[in-house]
């Protein structure tokens, strides 16, 4: 095995050719971004690196050989950057495998599907070698939201109590209880519902045979109403940076969490609200993945939160944008969409792995109905935000934002303020202002659903 490994390393130079091997590439920075979605390792250098990778499944580890590097103090720093809380990376080892070839081994806590690729210089970055480590087993985010709601509303003892003669008003809780007991009991007869939809169908049949209740009927069907909150940028992509060093990715995540706190304690016409954060940490999420994550949880509304920036400190005020199929509503909106759509270049995506078909489908399926609903939501949001801060423009703007292209979800992008304006940068760092802004955003969501009650879906609670 050792001889085979040495042969692989020895043939690397022959395969690349002498013209492709860098000599003495300088390490500019090493970074690690841990997250539940995936963990990322980046090595930034002054020239492009080449590599070969080997994945060993048991115990899981990724080995990457990099020619043209010498083991120096800058590269050794990567070992100490692994944090114990990283859900994927157990540790990193680095050594001089052969003269001119460094071997980096990433020991893993769980099986992953690794993607190793290079990125060309962009924005403040030079050449980057990127390791994206995606876990093979990923929790279903919709199931997690429903389970979280159940923990908040159902006493733990209720799952173990015997069923009463009266019909339950919580079919999801009943189904989860059956699933839980089925895991420890012998298989039951086929009379037990196989899944939640079977249970609901069974309950609907029984309900049809009972007399209709007297009195006024409730409007709508009681079910979970999900708002997808999308804090912009993250990880390798800091977004705008204010004159005092405030990073957009940090303040928008703080604001999104404040909005989430309000949403998770509210309801609409008896339907419990629940917020889903597309990014709940400091890591990068590609634009098309943000859309896909919102659709995966069947979100009823999508809100992307950003902080604006310009070349001069004078512009100020919040803006609200929705998608346009016919070009931007202004030159400023066009410039803003182009700036936000560059996130994939700065954050860094593996071009070969990007699902171009899905992205193209999203572009084609964006509907006029979605845009119409988004305009209503955007105008409502402008009215509430204008009560607590300055508006950059009093009307909703439109442009081709990639992140707003969910064809079946009303979607808006809010630029909360201008980080390039020193006064507004100070406001965004002020806890009291963030609370007022979060409250305004939450009120606009309530007002929108009051005008457009969410339609019934399968996720009944």
Q: Calculate mean pLDDT across residues 294-319.
A: 93
d(CA 225, CA 31): 37
pLDDT of residue 155: 58
Instruction: Please say if the pLDDT value at position 159 is more than 50.
Output: no
221-280: pLDDT as tens digits = 468 899 999 999 999 999 999 999 999 999 999 999 999 999 999 998 888 999 999 999
Measured from the Cβ of residue 243, the count of other Cβ atoms closer than 10 Å reads 11
Q: Calculate mean pLDDT across residues 334-362.
A: 74
pLDDT of residue 367: 72
56 contacts 105 by C-beta, under 8 angstroms: no
Query: 192: alpha, beta or left, given left = phi > 0 and alpha = psi -120 to 50?
Result: beta
223-239: pLDDT as tens digits = 889 999 999 999 999 99
Q: Calculate mean pLDDT across residues 440-461.
A: 81
Q: Calculate mean pLDDT across residues 315-329.
A: 88
232 contacts 239 by C-beta, under 8 angstroms: yes
Q: Calculate mean pLDDT across residues 346-374.
A: 69
Percent of the chain residues past pLDDT 70, beyond the cut: 75
Q: Reduced to 3 states, what is the DSSP secondary structure of residue 338?
A: helix
Structure tokens at 461: 């609670």
d(CA 181, CA 173): 12
335 contacts 423 by C-beta, under 8 angstroms: no
In terms of C-beta density within 10 A (0-12 exposed, 13-18 middle, 19 or more buried), how is residue 126 classed?
middle
| Residue position matching structure tokens 């769980």 | 110
Instruction: Please say if the pLDDT value at position 443 is more than 80.
Output: yes
102 contacts 21 by C-beta, under 8 angstroms: no
Non-local CB neighbours of 329 within 8 Å, separated by 6+ positions: 397, 398, 399
Which of 91-95, 183-187, 340-344 is the least confident region? 183-187
Order of strands, sheet of 267-268, starting from the edge strand that comes earlier in the sequence: 267-268, 271-277, 225-231, 301-308, 411-418, 319-323, 397-399
Instruction: Please say if the pLDDT value at position 166 is more than 80.
Output: no
pLDDT of residue 198: 43
pLDDT of residue 351: 77
Q: Reduced to 3 states, what is the DSSP secondary structure of residue 393?
A: coil
Peptide bond into 160 cis (omega under 30): no
2-19: pLDDT as tens digits = 444 333 333 333 333 333
Residues in the chain, total? 461
pLDDT of residue 162: 38
Average pLDDT of the chain is: 81
Instruction: Please say if the pLDDT value at position 157 is more than 50.
Output: no
Query: 317: alpha, beta or left, given left = phi > 0 and alpha = psi -120 to 50?
Result: left
Q: Calculate mean pLDDT across residues 42-50.
A: 95
pLDDT of residue 178: 52
Measured from the Cβ of residue 80, the count of other Cβ atoms closer than 10 Å reads 9
pLDDT of residue 144: 77
d(CA 81, CA 93): 11
Non-local CB neighbours of 89 within 8 Å, separated by 6+ positions: 32, 34, 39, 41, 82, 106, 107, 108, 109, 133
Instruction: Please say if the pLDDT value at position 140 is more than 90.
Output: no
DSSP class of 22: -
The closest of 359, 393, 362, 400 to 378, measured between CA atoms, is: 393
pLDDT of residue 333: 83
pLDDT of residue 454: 79
Q: Which residues of 12-26 are buried (b: 16+ CB within 10 A; e: fewer)?
A: bbeebeeeeebeebe
pLDDT of residue 23: 53
363-408: pLDDT as tens digits = 445 578 889 999 999 999 999 999 998 999 899 999 889 999 888 8
pLDDT of residue 352: 72
d(CA 113, CA 55): 9
Percent of the chain residues past pLDDT 90, beyond the cut: 57
CATH fold for the domain made of 27-135:
Immunoglobulin-like (2.60.40)
Structure tokens at 302: 């999508």
| Residue position matching structure tokens 């405030």 | 246
Which of 52-56, 159-163, 175-179, 350-354 is the least confident region? 159-163
Q: What is the residue extent of each domain of the chain?
A: 27-135, 225-349+363-451
| CATH number attached to the domain at 225-349+363-451 | 3.40.630.40
180-212: pLDDT as tens digits = 444 444 434 333 344 444 444 444 444 434 444
Query: What's phi and psi for 227, nearest 5 deg?
Result: -110, 120
d(CA 90, CA 41): 13
Q: Calculate mean pLDDT across residues 92-100.
A: 92
Number of H helices, E strands in the chain: 13, 15
412 contacts 429 by C-beta, under 8 angstroms: no
């Amino acid at each position: 095995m050792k001889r085979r490994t040495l042969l692989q390393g020895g043939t690397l130079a022959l395969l690349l050719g002498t013209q492709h091997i860098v000599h003495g590439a300088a390490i500019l920075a090493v970074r690690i971004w841990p997250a539940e979605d995936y963990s990322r390792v980046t090595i930034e250098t002054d020239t492009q690196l080449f590599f070969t990778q080997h994945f060993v499944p048991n115990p899981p580890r990724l080995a990457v050989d990099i020619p043209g590097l010498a083991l120096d103090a800058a590269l050794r720093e990567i070992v100490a950057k692994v944090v114990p809380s990283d859900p994927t990376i157990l540790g990193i080892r680095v050594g001089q495998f052969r003269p001119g070839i460094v071997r980096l081994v990433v020991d893993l806590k769980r099986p992953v599907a690794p993607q190793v690729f290079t990125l060309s210089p962009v924005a403040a970055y030079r050449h980057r070698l990127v390791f994206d480590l995606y876990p093979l087993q990923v929790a279903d985010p919709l199931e997690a939201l429903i389970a979280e709601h159940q923990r908040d509303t159902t006493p733990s003892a209720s799952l173990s109590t015997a069923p009463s003669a009266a019909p339950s008003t919580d079919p999801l809780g009943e189904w989860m209880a059956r699933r839980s007991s089925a895991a420890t009991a012998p298989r039951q007869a086929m009379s037990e519902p196989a899944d939640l939809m079977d249970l609901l169908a069974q309950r609907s049949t029984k309900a049809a045979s009972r007399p209709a209740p007297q009195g006024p009927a409730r409007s709508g069907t009681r079910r979970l109403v999900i708002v997808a909150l999308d804090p912009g940028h993250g990880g390798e992509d800091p977004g705008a940076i204010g004159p005092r060093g405030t990073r957009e990715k940090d303040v928008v995540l703080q604001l999104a969490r404040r909005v989430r706190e309000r949403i998770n304690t509210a309801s609409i016409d008896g339907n419990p609200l629940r917020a889903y954060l597309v990014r709940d940490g400091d890591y990068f999420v590609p634009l098309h993945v943000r859309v896909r994550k919102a659709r995966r949880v069947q979100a009823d509304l999508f809100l992307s939160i950003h902080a604006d920036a310009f070349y001069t400190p004078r512009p100020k005020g919040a803006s609200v944008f929705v998608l346009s199929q016919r070009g931007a509503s202004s030159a400023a909106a066009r410039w803003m969409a182009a700036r936000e759509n560059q996130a994939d270049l700065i954050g860094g995506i593996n071009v070969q792995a990007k699902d171009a078909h899905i992205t193209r489908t999203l572009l084609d399926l964006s509907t006029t109905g979605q845009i119409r609903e988004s305009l209503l939501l955007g105008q409502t949001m402008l009215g509430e935000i204008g009560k607590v801060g300055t508006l950059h423009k009093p009307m909703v703007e439109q442009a081709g934002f990639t992140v707003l292209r969910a064809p079946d979800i009303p979607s808006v992008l809010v630029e909360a303020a201008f980080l390039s304006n020193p006064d507004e940068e100070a406001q965004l760092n002020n806890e009291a202002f963030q609370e007022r802004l979060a409250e305004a955003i939450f009120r606009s969501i309530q007002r929108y659903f009051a005008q457009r009650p969410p339609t019934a879906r399968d996720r009944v609670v």
